[in-house]
C-alpha cells in the first residue's frame, strides 16, 4: 500500500491503526510523510500541516445517504434522478472537478455522453499562467530540482505559505552538516543557507518560521506595483536600466541589487501563486518571471516554479489535454470538443447553463451559486449546501476512503493514494459511471 507502514493495536471496540508515509492529495505539493490514526471510521492526522489535518479528519459515524429534492433515497434512485436531469438539459456545465484521476476520467466520460462544458474550481491561476506558456513557453523546474539546486529563490507576490503550508520546507530544506540527512539538498552546498527574495507580499509568521534557516530579504510592494516591479527586474536582467521603470527610488535600488545577485546565482527560481493575484496582474507576473528566467539563462541557470495544484487541478488539466486535445474550459459531447475559455470558465458557463453538475470529492466545497436549473452534486459527505441540490450523491474522498491518483503541482509526477479506512460510499468514478450507464452509455 502506498500509505506506507501501518501499525495496529486493539483499543477495545475498534482496532486502532497508525498509518505512516501517507500521501496528501489536497494542495498539490504531494507531501508523502503524513501520519494518520484510524479507529473504526474515525480518522485523525498525527503528523500533517493544519490544512491536511482539517481535511483528513473524520468522525466515527456512518456516511450520509443520497438525497433527491432533500429526501433520502437509495444510490440507484439518485443515479436515475441525475440521469433524468442530464437527459432533459441542453446546456450543461460541469464545475468543481476536485477529484482523483479516476474520478475525473468518469466525469469526462459522462460529459462526453451528456454534452457539457468542463472547468475546475481552481483553474483561474492555471489560465493566467497558460497565457504566457501557450505563446512562448518557459523553463520550469520540478520540486526536486528546486530543493536540490536552487541557491536563490524569488517569490513574486503573496506568501505561498497560506495556500501551500509546507512549500518552503519542501522546496528549500534547511542546511544540514549531517551527511546522512536525506532531506538535505544534493547539488548545492548542504551546509549553506540559501537566499530568498520576497517581492511584494509580507511574509506570514509561518512563512518566516519556515524560512528561518535561510537568508531572506523582503522588498515591500503594494499589489498594484508587483507587475511593474517584476517586469523591471526582468528588464534589468536583460541589461536595461531600472530608471525607465518609473518605480520609487528605494524599490529600484533593491531590484538592482537583486538583479546583481541573480546574475551571480547558479540556479535561481522564480515562484508565484497566480490564483492569489488579480487575473491581469497574474498574467503579467508570469510573463515577467518567464522573461527574467530567459534573460538569466544566457549566463547561468534559472527556472520558474509556478505554484498551483489545489484539488488536482493539474490532473484535470492534463486529462483534458490527453482526452480532448484542449485544456479545461472546453465543451465536449458527441459532436466533438470546442475550447473557448471566455465561454466555458465556470462563471460564464453558468450564465448560459440550464444544469450544473458540481463535483468535489476532496473537500466539502458547496456548488457555485446557480438558479437557472437543476443542480446535481457529487460531493464530499460533509458538504453544507446553501441551497439543497436537486440530487446529492455523497462520494468517498480519494486518499481517505479509497485509492486513486493525483498530480503534483509541477506536473511531472502522478502520485498514488491509498484508502485509509473501508469505503462506505461510492467513489466519484463509480457514481459517474453509474449515471452514464443510466443515460444509456457504456458503463
Ligand atoms: S502542504 Fe499541502 S500536500 Fe503538504 S500536507 Fe499540507 S495540504 Fe498536504
Give the pLDDT confidence score for residue 410 in this predicted structure: 96
96 in the same domain as 238:
no
Question: Residue 17 domain-assigned?
Answer: no
- Locate the DSSP E strands across 158-296: 195-200, 215-220, 267-273
| CATH number of the domain within which 233 lies | 3.40.228.10
Choose one of 308, 325, 357: the last residue of a domain: 308
CB atoms near residue 18 (< 10 Å): 18
Cα angle 221, 224, 226 (rounded to 5 degrees) comes to: 55
Q: Residue 49 CA: which ligand 1 atom is closest?
A: 6
Residue range 46-60, pLDDT digits in tens: 999 999 999 999 999
Q: Residue 49 Cα, ligand 1 centroid: separation in angstroms?
A: 6
pTM for the model:
0.93
Residue whose CA is at the smallest distance from ligand 1 atom 2: 27
Which residues are 395's β-sheet partners?
A: 380
- CB 380 less than 6 A from any atom of ligand 1: no
341 in the same domain as 328:
yes
- CB 409 less than 6 A from any atom of ligand 1: no
* Grid cell in block for residue 190: 548542504
User: How sure is the predictor about 174, in pLDDT bands with cuts at 50, 70 and 90?
Assistant: confident
370 in the same domain as 428:
yes
Q: Residue 48 CA: which ligand 1 atom is closest?
A: 5
Pocket perturbation via mutation, ligand 1, pick of 30, 47, 49 by most ligand atoms within 8 A of CB: 49
281 in the same domain as 161:
yes
Once rounded to an integer, what is the mean pLDDT over residues 103-112? 98
- Taking each helix axis from N to C end, the angle separating 101-114 and 313-324, rounded to the nearest 10 degrees, works out to 50
304 in the same domain as 241:
yes
Q: Residue 144 Cα, ligand 1 centroid: separation in angstroms?
A: 16
What are the φ and ψ backbone dihedral angles of 18, each rounded to 5 degrees?
-115, 120
Question: Residue 10 domain-assigned?
Answer: no
Q: Residue 246 Cα, ligand 1 centroid: separation in angstroms?
A: 39
Give the pLDDT confidence score for residue 2 in this predicted structure: 41
- CB 143 less than 6 A from any atom of ligand 1: no
Give the pLDDT confidence score for residue 89 in this predicted structure: 97
237 in the same domain as 291:
yes
Residue range 263-273, pLDDT digits in tens: 999 999 999 99
Q: Residue 213 Cα, ligand 1 centroid: separation in angstroms?
A: 20
Give the pLDDT confidence score for residue 247 in this predicted structure: 85
Q: Are 98 and 118 in contact (CB under 8 A)?
A: no
Residue whose CA is at the smallest distance from ligand 1 atom 4: 31
Q: Residue 96 Cα, ligand 1 centroid: separation in angstroms?
A: 20
137 in the same domain as 283:
yes
- CB 52 less than 6 A from any atom of ligand 1: yes
Q: Residue 34 Cα, ligand 1 centroid: separation in angstroms?
A: 9
Q: Residue 32 Cα, ligand 1 centroid: separation in angstroms?
A: 9
188 in the same domain as 278:
yes
User: How sure is the predictor about 1, in pLDDT bands with cuts at 50, 70 and 90?
Assistant: very low
pLDDT over 60 (residue 203)? yes
- Locate the DSSP E strands across 81-192: 92-98, 116-118, 152-157
User: How sure is the predictor about 193, in pLDDT bands with cuts at 50, 70 and 90?
Assistant: confident
Distance CA(97)–CA(108), nearest Å, equals 10
Choose one of 308, 339, 372: the last residue of a domain: 308
Q: Residue 308 Cα, ligand 1 centroid: separation in angstroms?
A: 12
Q: Residue 29 CA: which ligand 1 atom is closest?
A: 3
Nearest to 100 by CA among 364, 405, 363: 405
256 in the same domain as 224:
yes
- CB 24 less than 6 A from any atom of ligand 1: yes
pLDDT over 80 (residue 106)? yes
Question: Residue 260 domain-assigned?
Answer: yes
How far is the CA of 201 from the CAs of 139, 154, 204, 307, 374, in angstroms? 24, 12, 9, 15, 41
Q: Residue 165 CA: which ligand 1 atom is closest?
A: 1
For 144-158, b/e burial (b = at least 16 CB within 10 A) is ebbbbbbbbbbbbbb
Give the pLDDT confidence score for residue 88 in this predicted structure: 97
Mean pLDDT of the chain: 93
164 in the same domain as 200:
yes
| CATH number of the domain within which 378 lies | 3.40.50
Question: Residue 21 domain-assigned?
Answer: no
- CB 210 less than 6 A from any atom of ligand 1: no
Give the pLDDT confidence score for residue 5 in this predicted structure: 53
* Grid cell in block for residue 306: 509556478
Question: Which element (helix H / strand E) includes 336?
Answer: strand 336-339
Helix (H, G, I), strand (E, B) or coil at 409: coil
Question: Residue 31 domain-assigned?
Answer: no
Q: Are 210 and 159 in contact (CB under 8 A)?
A: no
298 in the same domain as 316:
no
Q: What percent of the chain has pLDDT over 70?
A: 92
Once rounded to an integer, what is the mean pLDDT over residues 63-85? 98
Both ends of the chain: CA-CA distance in Å? Answer: 28
198 in the same domain as 81:
no
Q: Residue 50 CA: which ligand 1 atom is closest?
A: 6
Region for 86 from its dihedrals, namely left if φ exceeds 0, alpha if ψ lies in -120 to 50, beta otherwise: alpha
Q: Residue 220 Cα, ligand 1 centroid: separation in angstroms?
A: 27
Our count of domains for the chain comes to 2
Q: Residue 30 Cα, ligand 1 centroid: separation in angstroms?
A: 6
Distance CA(319)–CA(111), nearest Å, equals 13
Question: Residue 408 domain-assigned?
Answer: no
Q: Residue 52 Cα, ligand 1 centroid: separation in angstroms?
A: 6
Q: Which of 10-14, 16-20, 149-153, 266-270 has the lowest mean pLDDT?
A: 10-14
- CB 29 less than 6 A from any atom of ligand 1: yes
Q: Residue 28 CA: which ligand 1 atom is closest?
A: 3
Q: Residue 396 Cα, ligand 1 centroid: separation in angstroms?
A: 19
- CB 49 less than 6 A from any atom of ligand 1: yes
pLDDT over 70 (residue 182)? no
Pocket perturbation via mutation, ligand 1, pick of 57, 147, 166, 397 by most ligand atoms within 8 A of CB: 166
Question: Residue 12 domain-assigned?
Answer: no
Q: Residue 52 CA: which ligand 1 atom is closest?
A: 7
Domain coverage including residue 234: 125-308
Choose one of 263, 281, 308: the last residue of a domain: 308
Residue range 212-265, pLDDT digits in tens: 999 999 999 888 899 999 999 999 999 888 776 678 888 999 999 999 999 999
C-beta contacts of 290-294 below 8 A and 24+ residues apart:
290/132, 290/133, 290/136, 290/137, 290/138, 290/139, 291/231, 291/234, 291/238, 292/154, 292/230, 292/233, 292/234, 292/237, 292/262, 293/138, 293/139, 293/268, 294/138, 294/139
Question: Residue 395 domain-assigned?
Answer: yes
- CB 168 less than 6 A from any atom of ligand 1: no
Amino acid at each position: 500500500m502506498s500509505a506506507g507502514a501501518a501499525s495496529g493495536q486493539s483499543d477495545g471496540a475498534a482496532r486502532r491503526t497508525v498509518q505512516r508515509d501517507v500521501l496528501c492529495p489536497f494542495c498539490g505539493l504531494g507531501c508523502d510523510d503524513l501520519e494518520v490514526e484510524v479507529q473504526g471510521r474515525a480518522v485523525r492526522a498525527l503528523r500533517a500541516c493544519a490544512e491536511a489535518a482539517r481535511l483528513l479528519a473524520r468522525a466515527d459515524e456512518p456516511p450520509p445517504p443520497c438525497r433527491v429534492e432533500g429526501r433520502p433515497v437509495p444510490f440507484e434512485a439518485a443515479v436515475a434522478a441525475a440521469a433524468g436531469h442530464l437527459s432533459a438539459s441542453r446546456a450543461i456545465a460541469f464545475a468543481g472537478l476536485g477529484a482523483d484521476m479516476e474520478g475525473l476520467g468518469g466525469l469526462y466520460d459522462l460529459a462526453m455522453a451528456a454534452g457539457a462544458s468542463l472547468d475546475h474550481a481552481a483553474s483561474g491561476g492555471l489560465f493566467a499562467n497558460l497565457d504566457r506558456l501557450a505563446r512562448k513557453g518557459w523553463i520550469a523546474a520540478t520540486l526536486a530540482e528546486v530543493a536540490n539546486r536552487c541557491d536563490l529563490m524569488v517569490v513574486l507576490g503573496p506568501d505561498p505559505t497560506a495556500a501551500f503550508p509546507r512549500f518552503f520546507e519542501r522546496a528549500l530544506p534547511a542546511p544540514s552538516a549531517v551527511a546522512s540527512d536525506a532531506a538535505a539538498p544534493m547539488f548545492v552546498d548542504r551546509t549553506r543557507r540559501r537566499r530568498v527574495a520576497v517581492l511584494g507580499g509580507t511574509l506570514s509568521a509561518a512563512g518566516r518560521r519556515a524560512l528561518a534557516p535561510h537568508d531572506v530579504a523582503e522588498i515591500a510592494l503594494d499589489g498594484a506595483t508587483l507587475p511593474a516591479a517584476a517586469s523591471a527586474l526582468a528588464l534589468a536582467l536583460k541589461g536595461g536600466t531600472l530608471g525607465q521603470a518609473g518605480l520609487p527610488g528605494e524599490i529600484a535600488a533593491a531590484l538592482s541589487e537583486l538583479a546583481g545577485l541573480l546574475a551571480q546565482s547558479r540556479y535561481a527560481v522564480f515562484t508565484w501563486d497566480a490564483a492569489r493575484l488579480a487575473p491581469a496582474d497574474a498574467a503579467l507576473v508570469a510573463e515577467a518571471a518567464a522573461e527574467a528566467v530567459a534573460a538569466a539563462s544566457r549566463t547561468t541557470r534559472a527556472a520558474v516554479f509556478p505554484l498551483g495544484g489545489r484539488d488536482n487541478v493539474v490532473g484535470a488539466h492534463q486529462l483534458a489535454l490527453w482526452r480532448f486535445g484542449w485544456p479545461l474550459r472546453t465543451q465536449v459531447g458527441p459532436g466533438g470538443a470546442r475550447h473557448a475559455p471566455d465561454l466555458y470558465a465556470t462563471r460564464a458557463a453558468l450564465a448560459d447553463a440550464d444544469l450544473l453538475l458540481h463535483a468535489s470529492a476532496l473537500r466539502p466545497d458547496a456548488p457555485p451559486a446557480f438558479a437557472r436549473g437543476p443542480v446535481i452534486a457529487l460531493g464530499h459527505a460533509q458538504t453544507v449546501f446553501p441551497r439543497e441540490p436537486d440530487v446529492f450523491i455523497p462520494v468517498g474522498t480519494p486518499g481517505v476512503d479509497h485509492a486513486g491518483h493525483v498530480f503534483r503541482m509541477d506536473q511531472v509526477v502522478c502520485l498514488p493514494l491509498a484508502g485509509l479506512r473501508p469505503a462506505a460510499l461510492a467513489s466519484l468514478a463509480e457514481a459517474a459511471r453509474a449515471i452514464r450507464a443510466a443515460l444509456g452509455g457504456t458503463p
